[in-house]
Structure 1
Amino acid sequence: MNTFYTLKNQLIILGAILMCFTSQAQDIPFNCDFSAYLFQYNDVYAIDLASGNSYQVATDVTPGNINATAYNPADGFIWGSLSTPAKTIVRIGKNFNTTTYYVDELPTNGRYVGDVSADGIYYLKAGGKTYYKIDLDPESENYTQHQETSNLSLNISIHDWAFNAVDGMLYAVAKTSNILYRIDPLDGNVQALGEVPILSGLSYTYGAVYFDLSGRFYVSANETGTIYVIQSVQDLVENGVMDSNLFAFGPSSSSNDGARCPTAPVLQEICDNGIDDDGDGLIDCEDPSCSGFGNCALLVPPTTGSNDGGLESNNRLSEQINTRNFNRAKTSYSFDRSSARRMTKNDSYAQRNANSGFTLEDFIPLGIINEDEVIDASPSDLVSITNATEIYGVDYLKNNTPIASILAIKTENGVYEHTKYICDRLLGAELITVNTIDINGQSFIKSIIKNADGTYEFVLSLSAKVINNDENFAIESHWNLDQYEQDVTFYNFQIWSNSVDDLFSIGQEVLNLLETQKSISTYNNSIPPTVFVRKGKYINGSLDLQIINTNSTENVTFDAGFRTTETGEFGALNSTIDLNQDYITNLQLETGNLFDIGFRIGDGIATPDDLFMSDGPWGIDDSQTNTTVDTYAILPNDFTFNDNDFPIERNMVLKATTSSYVAAYRALTPRFKAVDLSDYNSLKFSAKGTGNLEITFVKASISNWEDQYKSTITLSNTSQNFVLPISSFQSGNGTDLELNDVVTVVFTMVSEDGTTTTKELTLENLRLSQDTLSVDDLTQDTTALSAVPNPMTSATTIQFTANQTETIQFVVYNQLGKVVYQTTHRATPGNNEITLNRNNMSIGIYFCKIISQTTLYNPLKLIAR
């Protein structure tokens, strides 16, 4: 083979006629499959235009770099132009075997625009107006030979063009001007159709463009990977109305070109039918292609601010983090943007601080995304509870709304330990996609996160370290934190924005500002995972996960470390997850009850995906100087919660000495976010201990602790079951409690006379209930019901004793838990009776329950025959 290859080159030099070199005798055509193919250097990626997801399908397919790639409808192969050998084009099969052809009429370099017409003519262009026609119809006697050299009527700055199968015209979008051009392949006439509206104001290189059978034109921006669509370009007239939109968020690329069969369909999301039409797992307005259509909002929502960012719980720091969040929750802390310091661009911006050294503030971009103002939103309280030694955070505001944020963090013992994409997915957020963004010629991982509130954020993380005796910066950016160098000082940048274009601009300026202080000598960036968890949640002993598999992986390994409680030891889980090469897999992984879990999924080849999840934590408030905790333990539940309960998992044991107070608290979410519990009407639990226990629901809407809603019970040294109606919780503001924004539940024990005393508390089986029938309410402290007669035939009398006058509810359930009868009754102190007529109740077993605000009644089993 080497001898033949050398001979071929010799013949080329001698000017011999067209020679052919085939690496395999049997090539396989693509035959108009649905994928778009992105060629970068000499590697090939398959892209699903509907989702933007991509994966590498071949590497090093030719000795030279490939560009000007095109699908040939005449033979079903993809063709391209090679940088080496000179004046060479290449045919590529679906098995990525290649055949090269020498065309003497071609220029030696710079051929980066190309596509093939329906009749098999390859239109190949370098810079300037000149383009070349090569016959690639395998039935032609001039197969692979140069046919004609022509000139365009206008010199246009384009980096790819594509044939529209509907009208047979070539189309391209120019860099900077963003003008869409229609080119007549027969005479080279260029028609400017106008600026593409969705691209207005951008300055990207559009190096990969594609068509589908309906004449939709898909344009990919090299730097960000964003895929845009222009509808029905064959119907456009010069300066007419042009329908353009976002379509998907794909991978960034450089030295690239795209190829796709122009008559293959691209699945389209219908934005109002409640169905995932294009199979990417995103329904209606969730899909980027629906941005701005119908009732779907444009993808420009507000972002979360930097004052709330940069922090998730982990084992090493969980106690400090929980204390910080609890202190914020007690006062309903909210960052006040109106009083924050405003940052202004001055003469020292982007200037090297040679004498005084640099600060984190020197790396904060200003005035580059058309923001109204930039405010200091630094969460300074992170310094004492994380591995950060300095923190500087800013929010970029437009119309008083945050549109982007940066959290700049200095760490001295390795990279910063918290990233948005690792933790947010198991807290209600979704990872819509993860791919790349190209900044200053370097590929970084970008992710798109859909927050629990429905807003979207585009996220980028990078870190810089000083090397070469303080002369240079080295940049690292990885998906997995364990890929960063350990025990060195890093300057970490977490950037998020409501648009990928602003993310690109901010990220580019951060790198430029780093370069100003010290030249960047090296980059060490990882590629994104090809299999990742889009979303997940923990439900009663199992992880409910949705896994996206972009490269048809058969299976991945699952490796996890977990704790069943906050004070427990770590355990390990290992298993194999079978994905069956499916793009989307929904599954439940049994884990047993747990407090937190960190896990990794991967195929052992590509970058693995890491996630961390924590339940809402238990914690203790022992902040008083005269309070000492003797025992504090969190224990697993072995209680079976009802389906209509809101379980507050794990039991708590506390023993402390205090002359003031000691409190335990349970956050309802890991980040102390408010939860709507309006559907629940009672708090149930078992407890024992000493003295009185004050129970407080902390609402996000109340900033004054004294106005929070409280109820008090008396503990004994034996465990009792308690049912506290929500209506029994009282506030100084005199209004009824609404559980619409509960952050934490606090359990406080006070030294009533101010003397040092020992307080003990055991809490078990804590849950909020909707007060339907539950056999768990049976205790020695409840009051019995009776029915005479029982079994009943036509009617029976329910008998019970009340301690005070009140209106109670009487409810009858069948064996499936369905309410078959209910009424109210005015109970008086002493013996009471309620007559129950059988009416339409069929033969069987029923359960009778009285719901009281003051007394817990045993459910009664009633037989009807």
Structure 2
Amino acid sequence: MKKTTIYLNKIWLIGLFILINSNILAQNNPFNCDYNAYLFQYNDVYSIDLASGNSYLVATDVTPGNINAAAYNPADGYIWGYLNSPDKTIVRIGQDFATTTYYIPELTSGNKYVGDIDSNGIYFLKAGGATYYKVDLNPSSPNYGLYISTESLSQGISVHDWAFNANDGYLYTVEQNSNILYRIDSSNGSVIPLGEVPILSGLSYTYGAVYFDASGNFYVSANQTGTIYMIKNVQNLTGSNGMTSNLFAFGPSSSSNDGARCPTAPVPQEDCVNGIDDDGDGLVDCDDPSCSGYASCPVIQAPVSGGNNGGLESNNRLAEQINKRNFNRTRNNYKFNSEKARKVTRTASYGNKNPNNFQLADFIPLGTIFEDEVIESTPTDLLAITNATAVYSVDYIKNNKSIASILALKTDEGVYEHTKYICDRLLGAQLLSVSTIEINGQTFIKSIIKNTDGSMEFVLSFSAKVVNNETNFAIESHWNLDSYEDNVTFYNFQIWTNSLDDLYGLGGEVLNLVNTQKTISDFNNSLPPTVYVRKGKYNNGSLDLQVVNTNRTQNVTFDAGLRVTETSASSTLTSQINLAGNYITNLQLATGNLFDVGFRLGDGVAIPDDLFMSDGPWGVDDAGTNTTVMNYAILPNSTLFDIDEFPIERNVVLSANTSDYIAVYRALTPRFKAVDLSEYQSFKLKAKGTGTLEIRFVKESITNWEEQYETSIVLTSTLKDYAIPFSAFTTTDGSELILDDVKTIVFTMKSENGTVVTKEMTLEAIRFSKDFIETFDSSDLETISVQPNPMLTNTSLHFITLQEESVVLYVYNQLGEIVEQINFDAVNGRNEIMMNRGKLSTGLYFCKIVSPNHDYKAIKLLVK
């Protein structure tokens, strides 16, 4: 990077600068009030999009020393800052990040970390306390680059940055701990308190970077969490009128930082009610953090999912096992009852070293986030299907709602194989943001997830391993699971909350408790991905993805492994994707039909994004007495479904010997979440097999397995189409079926008499349809009608069946002899068999339809 050093003193009043290093003089261009905010960390520079909170590195090592007190200069269009080395030196930074340094001998030694420049080009900078300094940086002034004076504020305040409001010319800042907004008259140092910022109440962050926009909105960034807050139109505040403040965006954490931005540049604002992404951050209305609490948008503090349902958000290896675990919970009528859960209370031993070997419970914070109570929510069934050897989880309850959860797991041969943030981004959930959070002086990855039910969770994951002959802990935290050390014991922590501040508090206390048991000697943490998938879906053989590109990269590589069905082998897919440097890109990637896919998206330089998507899996329930599965296969579906149908992907072939029952089941989502199918009117499939097939819809609102809605059909040895009206599904209380919360579909075949029998089923083209299927009473399934009757030359016999089947019409004379036989392939619903008189003589006859599924009553036919 080009650099120029200039030594200034008041004796050069004619404004001539002696260049100490004239051979590398830089004629760099000014920024000239662009819309970006710039964040300086040590000697690196990040561009910050205030609307989204996203940042990307634009320059590294721009000076030998660290830059602080950064400020945009309206008088020359450059950014200026103070260097910690060499001492008493300020620096001018151009648009190409070339620098020119100036020595100001009148400044005191030591770092100056608070600074901004007014519209006249006067630089106001300070360290702690009340003393501040003024330097003339107006290029049209004869004193350009010269020290002006040392002044004092009317009171000492603990602040870490300040900024000029172009609307009134005053400096503004927010004090750490008190969270009071101050207005400062730079002409005389008068400090005017305007009251505590409501959105910051109770927080104790360092506000190391603050910015203004053209409207006088004041943006305050918290170092530790990266959260950007906005205080609206501060020039209108009197100290006694109301202050409007809110979340604005979730940005990266930072340390040794300072911010600079042109104060007359606007910042795009989200409308919150118009259904449009007004500020260009890819988030619409209530999804945008800046809308929290505005219009109809709720404040971001909804309940979070509990620990009892956590720990299984990813990994193709266990999709079927996860499905079976959830199915067994439903079949056994299991539901976690938070009111009956064991309360976890803080004892005298809390926070002390456990002399009898620590347990996972020793790492759980209590009282850190001012919860009302903590309950144990341990999902012990994780031990049977994951690589965890011990598990413990708690939920934090406040005002009868879960506000946070911690899931702690011990693994013996590597890190725990599931992560909260590799979530259902292809099934309705969204990764709203991924950036950094600084906890106990260390940088971790925080992610913000919007779940399919609309709730929002702030997520943090890290793991501890024993090192140095079991005397210390080392902490690892990575986005990619393959970045963790292999074949070692880890203590894994997944923390999710409805508040970023609570995430910060719980994360810090977990680290403190870990450090109590064994001193933490080392941290090995990675940065988050710079390109990531926010959301997407699988649709007709393609992945539709929305990609967020925070570092404006041009190209990324898509590397995927996929399976067509649960029982098929994996295949790979690689392609290059051109993002053209765009922040938001909507992609459609052809994959063909698939059951699951795991893929990595990255540019080969920064941390890549890892993502896993599974369709709702098929599973086999072979828990019946003396049940042996002989053949079980999931096959691709070749049926072209109608656009208004809800397909149940993939076909099933099953054969088993059982003296009890055998069943297959299909979750509608991989997380066993309920799906609203109330707009559909019938259930269709093709099937064949041996005997009666029971079909059961499992609804989330029904906790008792025996009360779930079910019906049955009779299978034959040939593949037939079945169209079943919802009225055919019944329950124990006789209520009407409303399919607003279906979690899974179960297909069961039973041994009717308890002896070992072979049961077979083939199920294809399963779907929910909007077609209305006429329903019938049971008496309709026994009745035959004939018209006309008496018959002269021909007549029609009418009957009803509930499935495709082959029937035979027999016509008997009065002696019981068969005089006519007609074979007929019936369809589901109403059927008509045409019969000609032929050789029938005048007299009385009896008509009988023989069906494998229904017992129709004979009817008399008179022939004239």
Q: Which residue of 1 aligns with 2:182?
A: 181
Q: Deviations over 1:180-229 (max 9, x none)?
A: 11111111111111111111111011000000011110000111111111
Q: Which residue of 2 aligns with 1:242?
A: 243
Q: Which residue of 2 aligns with 1:687?
A: 687
Give the CA deviation at 1:805. Answer: 11
Question: 1:802, 1:831 within 8 Å by CA — same for their partners in 2?
Answer: no
- 1:321-470 equivalences under 5 Å are 321-353=322-354, 355-470=355-470
Question: 1:313, 1:670 within 8 Å by CA — same for their partners in 2?
Answer: no
Give the CA deviation at 1:830. Answer: 6.5
Give the CA deviation at 1:130. Answer: 1.1
Q: 1:329 to 1:801 in 2, by over 3 A?
A: farther
Q: Which residue of 2 aligns with 1:726?
A: 726
Q: Distance in 2 between matches of 1:308 and 1:608?
A: 28
- 1:114-129 equivalences under 5 Å are 114-129=115-130
| Count of aligned pairs | 783
Q: Which residue of 2 aligns with 1:816?
A: none
Q: Which residue of 2 aligns with 1:858?
A: none
The AA in structure 2 aligned to 1:573 is L
Q: Deviations over 1:232-283 (max 9, x none)?
A: 1111112331111111111111111000000000001112222211111112
Q: Which residue of 1 aligns with 2:580?
A: 580
Identity %: 65
Bigger Cα displacement from structure 2, 316-325 vs 514-523: 316-325
Q: Which residue of 2 aligns with 1:513?
A: 513
Give the CA deviation at 1:334. Answer: 2.1
Query: What SS does the corresponding residue of 2:464 show, helix, strand or coil?
Result: strand
Query: What SS does the corresponding residue of 2:381 show, helix, strand or coil?
Result: helix
Q: Distance in 2 between matches of 1:483 and 1:632?
A: 36
Q: Distance in 2 between matches of 1:424 and 1:24?
A: 54
Question: 1:530, 1:606 within 8 Å by CA — same for their partners in 2?
Answer: yes
Q: Which residue of 1 aligns with 2:287?
A: 286
Q: 1:413 to 1:3 in 2, by over 3 A?
A: closer
Q: Deviations over 1:332-378 (max 9, x none)?
A: 5321000000011111000011x301110000000011100000001
Q: Distance in 1 between matches of 2:732 and 2:197?
A: 60
Question: 2:314, 2:419 within 8 Å by CA — same for their partners in 1?
Answer: no
Give the CA deviation at 1:416. Answer: 0.8
Q: 1:693 to 1:419 in 2, by over 3 A?
A: same
Q: Distance in 2 between matches of 1:768 and 1:434?
A: 37
Structure 1, unaligned runs of 5 or more: 774-798, 807-825, 833-853, 856-865
Q: 1:724 to 1:98 in 2, by over 3 A?
A: same
Give the CA deviation at 1:516. Answer: 0.7
Q: Distance in 1 between matches of 2:830 and 2:319?
A: 50
Q: Distance in 1 between matches of 2:831 and 2:409?
A: 66
Q: Distance in 2 between matches of 1:721 and 1:236?
A: 72
Q: Distance in 1 between matches of 2:481 and 2:299?
A: 33
Q: Which residue of 2 aligns with 1:626?
A: 626
Q: 1:753 to 1:468 in 2, by over 3 A?
A: same
Query: Larger Cα Rg: Structure 1 or Structure 2?
Result: 2
Give the CA deviation at 1:726. Answer: 1.5
Q: Which residue of 2 aligns with 1:835?
A: none
Structure 2, unaligned runs of 5 or more: 774-794, 803-828, 836-852, 855-864
The AA in structure 1 aligned to 2:728 is S
Q: Distance in 2 between matches of 1:703 and 1:252?
A: 44
Q: Which residue of 2 aligns with 1:213?
A: 214
Q: 1:30 to 1:17 in 2, by over 3 A?
A: closer
Q: 1:4 to 1:632 in 2, by over 3 A?
A: closer
Bigger Cα displacement from structure 2, 64-73 vs 578-587: 578-587
Give the CA deviation at 1:735. Answer: 1.7
Q: Which residue of 1 aligns with 2:711?
A: 711
The AA in structure 1 aligned to 2:397 is L
The AA in structure 2 aligned to 1:37 is Y
TM-score, length-scaled by structure 2: 0.88
Query: What SS does the corresponding residue of 1:55 show, helix, strand or coil?
Result: strand
Question: 2:531, 2:548 within 8 Å by CA — same for their partners in 1?
Answer: yes
Q: 1:129 to 1:563 in 2, by over 3 A?
A: same
Q: Which residue of 2 aligns with 1:611?
A: 611
Bigger Cα displacement from structure 2, 336-345 vs 757-766: 757-766
Q: Distance in 1 between matches of 2:360 and 2:301?
A: 28
Q: 1:38 to 1:332 in 2, by over 3 A?
A: farther
Give the CA deviation at 1:753. Answer: 1.6
The AA in structure 1 aligned to 2:60 is T
Q: Which residue of 2 aligns with 1:91?
A: 92
The AA in structure 2 aligned to 1:182 is R
Q: 1:74 to 1:581 in 2, by over 3 A?
A: same
The AA in structure 2 aligned to 1:202 is L
Question: 1:709, 1:730 within 8 Å by CA — same for their partners in 2?
Answer: yes
Q: Which residue of 2 aligns with 1:134?
A: 135
The AA in structure 2 aligned to 1:138 is P
Q: Distance in 1 between matches of 2:441 and 2:797?
A: 81
Q: Which residue of 2 aligns with 1:78?
A: 79
Q: Distance in 2 between matches of 1:728 and 1:440?
A: 61
The AA in structure 2 aligned to 1:548 is V
Bigger Cα displacement from structure 2, 597-606 vs 695-704: 695-704
Q: Distance in 2 between matches of 1:303 and 1:211?
A: 34
Q: Distance in 2 between matches of 1:802 and 1:137?
A: 99
Q: Distance in 2 between matches of 1:298 and 1:539?
A: 33
Q: Distance in 2 between matches of 1:254 and 1:537?
A: 37
- 1:745-760 equivalences under 5 Å are 745-760=745-760
Q: Distance in 1 between matches of 2:367 and 2:491?
A: 22
Q: 1:51 to 1:21 in 2, by over 3 A?
A: farther
- 1:153-172 equivalences under 5 Å are 153-172=154-173
- 1:455-854 equivalences under 5 Å are 455-771=455-771, 802-804=798-800
Q: Distance in 1 between matches of 2:798 and 2:107?
A: 100
Q: Deviations over 1:784-813 (max 9, x none)?
A: xxxxxxxxxxxxxxx99741499xxxxxxx
The AA in structure 1 aligned to 2:436 is T
Q: Deviations over 1:96-126 (max 9, x none)?
A: 1111110101122121000011111111111
Question: 1:40, 1:255 within 8 Å by CA — same for their partners in 2?
Answer: yes
Query: What SS does the corresponding residue of 1:104 show, helix, strand or coil?
Result: coil
Give the CA deviation at 1:625. Answer: 4.4
Query: What SS does the corresponding residue of 2:50 show, helix, strand or coil?
Result: coil
The AA in structure 1 aligned to 2:500 is V
Q: Distance in 2 between matches of 1:332 and 1:677?
A: 22
Q: Distance in 1 between matches of 2:46 and 2:625?
A: 62
Does residue 317 in structure 1 map to residue 318 in structure 2? yes
Q: Distance in 2 between matches of 1:426 and 1:277?
A: 24
Give the CA deviation at 1:293. Answer: 1.3
Q: Distance in 1 between matches of 2:610 and 2:801?
A: 58
The AA in structure 1 aligned to 2:140 is E
Question: 1:110, 1:127 within 8 Å by CA — same for their partners in 2?
Answer: no
Q: Distance in 1 between matches of 2:385 and 2:2?
A: 63
Query: What SS does the corresponding residue of 2:157 show, helix, strand or coil?
Result: coil
Q: Distance in 2 between matches of 1:91 and 1:124?
A: 14
Q: Which residue of 2 aligns with 1:779?
A: none
Question: 1:331, 1:703 within 8 Å by CA — same for their partners in 2?
Answer: no
Query: What SS does the corresponding residue of 1:422 show, helix, strand or coil?
Result: coil
The AA in structure 2 aligned to 1:200 is S
Query: What SS does the corresponding residue of 1:485 show, helix, strand or coil?
Result: coil
Query: What SS does the corresponding residue of 1:333 show, helix, strand or coil?
Result: coil
Give the CA deviation at 1:34. Answer: 0.6
Q: Distance in 1 between matches of 2:581 and 2:797?
A: 64
Question: 1:311, 1:418 within 8 Å by CA — same for their partners in 2?
Answer: yes
Bigger Cα displacement from structure 2, 478-487 vs 140-149: 140-149
Q: Distance in 1 between matches of 2:530 and 2:763?
A: 44
Q: Distance in 1 between matches of 2:4 and 2:742?
A: 77
Q: 1:720 to 1:828 in 2, by over 3 A?
A: closer
Give the CA deviation at 1:675. Answer: 1.1
Does residue 298 in structure 1 map to residue 299 in structure 2? yes
The AA in structure 1 aligned to 2:27 is Q
TM-score, length-scaled by structure 1: 0.88
Question: 1:313, 1:322 within 8 Å by CA — same for their partners in 2?
Answer: no
Question: 1:225, 1:249 within 8 Å by CA — same for their partners in 2?
Answer: yes
Query: What SS does the corresponding residue of 1:424 show, helix, strand or coil?
Result: coil
Give the CA deviation at 1:500. Answer: 0.5
Q: Deviations over 1:128-169 (max 9, x none)?
A: 111111111112221111111111111110000001111111
Q: Distance in 2 between matches of 1:514 and 1:169?
A: 46
Bigger Cα displacement from structure 2, 653-662 vs 695-704: 695-704
